[in-house]
Structure 1
Amino acid sequence: MTIRVLVVDDSATMRGLITARLRADPMIEVVGQASDPHDARQAIKKLNPDVITLDIEMPNMDGIEFLDKIMRLRPTPVIMISTLTQRGADVSLKALEIGAFDCIAKPTGGSSDDFDTLVEKVKAAANSRRRSRRQDTVRRGADASFMPDDRIIAIGASTGGVEALIAILSQFPPNCPPTVISQHMPATFTRSFASRLNNLCAASVSEATEGAPMEAGRIYLAPGDFHLEVSGAGTYRCRLSDGPKVNGHRPSVDVMFRSVLRAVGSRSIGVILTGMGRDGAEGLLALRQAGAETIGQDEQSSVVYGMPRVAYEIGAVSKQLSLERIGEALVRLANVHQTSMQRA
Structure 2
Amino acid sequence: MKNKAIIIFILLTFVLSGCSKSDVSKSEVDLKSSDSAQSSEIKKESSDVKIDYNKVKPNELGKIMVLMYHNIGQEESTWVRTPDNFRKDLNTLYEKKYRTISLNDYASGNINTEAGFTPVVITFDDGNENNFRVFEENGDIKIDPNCAIGILEEFKKSHPDFDTTATFFLNSNIFNQPEYVDYKLNFLLENGYDIGNHTLYHTDLSKSDKDTIQKAIVQEIEVINKYVKDYSVNTLALPFGGKPQGDDYIYAIKGGYDSISYNNNAVLLVGWDPYKSPYHKNFDFSKIHRVRASETNVDNVGLYDWLNKFDENKQIRYISDGDSNTICIPNNYEDVLNKDIKDKIIVTY
Higher relative contact order (CA closer than 8 Å, sequence separation 6+): 2
Q: Max radius of gyration: which structure?
A: 2
TM-score by length of 1: 0.24
TM-score by length of 2: 0.24
